[in-house]
Amino acid sequence: MKIIVLKFGGSSVGTVERIKKIANIVVSYRKKGYKPIVISSAMSGTTNDLIKKSAAISNNFNSAEYDVLVSAGEQISCSLIAGRLNHLGYKSQSWMGWQIPILTEGMYKYSRIIKIYKKKIIDSLRSGEIPIIAGFQGVNSNNRITTLGRGGSDASAIMCAKFFNAQKCIIYTDVEGVYTTDPNTLRNAKKIKVISYEEMLEMASLGAKVMQPTSIQDARLNRIDIEVKSSFVKKGGTKITKRKNLISNKIIRGISFTKNDAKVTLIGVKDKPGIAAAVFKPLSNNAINVDMVVQNISANGKETDLTFTIKSDDLIKTQRLIKKNKKIIFRELIVDKNVSKVSIIGVGMIATPGVSYRMFHALAKKNINILVISTSEIKISVLVNKKNISKAILALHKEFKLDK
């Protein structure tokens, strides 16, 4: 069978009129001879509303019940899409994760798909139906509903493409593709026609909101090409594919940034083996993600300073955990919420010397001070004062000619 997976995000199914429009998109693929499998997110705003309700009920809402609650939005959108397709004369049926079933493992709120039982959906396709599958959800070995994290419908689509051996996987969203940076921040941002899994993973992890990072990793591991397109305009999108498929003279592919970082510095930490592990273990146990880390060289061999970044939402919990940690000794704890991270990403920097200099020089010319630096094979991230983030993006976008 010529299977195609079509995933529609929350904005694409945000209103009844938009659902009518995406139903026409599904029909267009059917007319081209494809057997569409549709993955739908909840209507925009629905999941956030359900989360607010859980918070109003309890500040420690049970995780298993949380997944039952927040997975309800997809049931509504799937039913409406199937209903519209039936209205247009095409047999269609909605499917929740537990009905297929889509088997997951891991913690509630952050589960991962490990298997999709195919028989019911294959039978549906062979009978001429268009199955509409709820994204973002599955069921665990205890037969309880689980969810895949915010943006998890992307992972649902990619794993469906894997298990059903789809010829194409298209992610429909409210933007025309992946851009060199956020077009809402920089008007000169350009759409990227082709990007590697690795570059897209870095961009998503560093702040780009087009796709969920774990779903990009799933696509990379399973070598599934993805196309990101707009539900609202008929234009080509961005293809996410293997690095060797790229043909480009661009050293840097894009710029990502975040605005919800906090910098934590421990002054006068006792410099001895295992101290970093002692600092970060309680944070890890409490699901606090530590990003950039810098430890100064100990001048006297006795004390050092340790700086790291976290999400600003985790700052209060982090401060509390550090202060009650009896395994570490330090003289002072300093925090700063007025920081942002800006990153340049591109596989081209692997074989191109001088990229770091160009980045740092471009920022220096705009009098932007760098607070922390971290690097990987295909990205360089710097922490700057939050007030300078727009100026930094513009300077780097121009330096690496991303508007050309």
- pTM tops 0.85, yes or no: no
Q: What is the DSSP string of 217-239?
A: HHHHHHT--EEEEESSS----EE
User: Mean pLDDT per 10-residue run, the chain (404 residues)?
Assistant: 96 96 97 97 96 94 96 97 98 98 95 97 97 97 94 93 95 90 88 90 74 84 91 91 74 90 92 88 91 81 88 93 91 94 91 92 96 91 95 95 86
| Residues 113-122 pLDDT 10s | 999 999 999 9
Q: How many Å apart are CA 38 and CA 26, to the nearest integer? A: 8
What is 3-174's CATH number?
3.40.1160.10
Closest alpha carbon to 365 in 396, 338, 342: 396
| Residues 204-227 pLDDT 10s | 876 666 777 888 888 888 889 999
What was the pLDDT predicted at 321? 94
- Cβ count within 10 A of residue 289: 10
Which helix (H) or strand (E) segment is 240 a member of?
strand 238-241
What was the pLDDT predicted at 206? 67
Q: Which amino acid is at 342?
A: V
Can you give the residue ranges of every domain in the chain? 3-174
Q: What is the rounded radius of gyration, in angstroms, for the C-alpha atoms of the chain? A: 23
Helix-, strand-, coil-residue percentages of the chain, each rounded to 5: 35, 30, 35
| Residues 6 or more apart in contact with residue 350 via CB below 8 angstroms | 377, 378
Residue 190 · residue 27 · CB < 8 Å: no
What was the pLDDT predicted at 247? 64
Place of tokens 């330090």: 330
What was the pLDDT predicted at 75? 97
Q: How many Å apart are CA 212 and CA 129, to the nearest integer? A: 29
Q: How many Å apart are CA 70 and CA 110, to the nearest integer? A: 13
